Structure 1
């Protein structure tokens, strides 16, 4: 059975990409012709450090992505991506636990990206329970799941109105004990905020020119 899978790439963003995300359009146009890909892709720069970029790309299944990697078009696609990347970055694949499509979260004004490693595999169920509690505090704009590369490496993607809204939320008294417990169960590997742009966009160019 095909299970929707999200590919996440965290990479070094070139100055050209920082100035104009539309430089990715030729690559995305080629990618849109691949079987099993769900366009648009979601592209963003880290708010804390714009030299770090993110790509969220949804696939009908991991098998569709693997077939795309083996296709003749993969070589030309990599060439088209070169102007946007200063490093190949790290690539992950995640099947998110959610009752709605991940696009709902990715379309929020700010997306928090959190990557954690379980300190022990036996903590998986408890960590998942904590994430579910956090989901209620995040107005259900939270999705999580283990990476397919390493089930002890887990992604959380959380949609917020702003960075300030996130910082305010984590000060709530009811979250202090669960957050402290989580710190004893996982190591944080990556945490940041980004604003994601869907590319290619339908219709008119948006207000920032891409």
Structure 2
């Protein structure tokens, strides 16, 4: 079975999400260099990104701020384009394909429907709001394997973030790191391999 992360693998949304996070936090924390704080946290749930950013910046966020920022991020990210070539790549896969995301299911479903990628996944969507612990815990990947009746050792995961690679490796799955999204760079190859990716691909077709 092939299991794909959503943001940064299917939908090229991570740069958009990062820009919204930075803009929203800069408006609330004048004088704080927000971008260097936010970028290493991408891949975590938005709530955890905001919690981590608050701790690192030494600034507080009200619950109402967290919810408002989360909604702003989702509203922008759901309009993002697909990762270049991913539709053609998925069309060539002769395996069951599932999606395992740290985002909420309603967002993932809306993004995949809008981009036309939903046809590859059907209802095989496993999201952070449906498990006890989000990535980097393995719960969402284990839920996919259990629900679809596939042993974790027979699953190949495509992930773009350290958070996701850690989760998939902890689930006992084979991991293909992916740096084909607009937010990634070749410098991430060694980092993803170092935490469990057996291979790293620079695009939707050709492995690195």
**TM-score normalised per structure 2:** 0.29
**TM-score normalised per structure 1:** 0.29
- Give 1 or 2: higher strand fraction: 1
User: Which one has more relative contact order, counting CA pairs under 8 Å at least 6 apart?
Assistant: 1
- Give 1 or 2: higher helix fraction: 2
Greater radius of gyration (CA)? 1
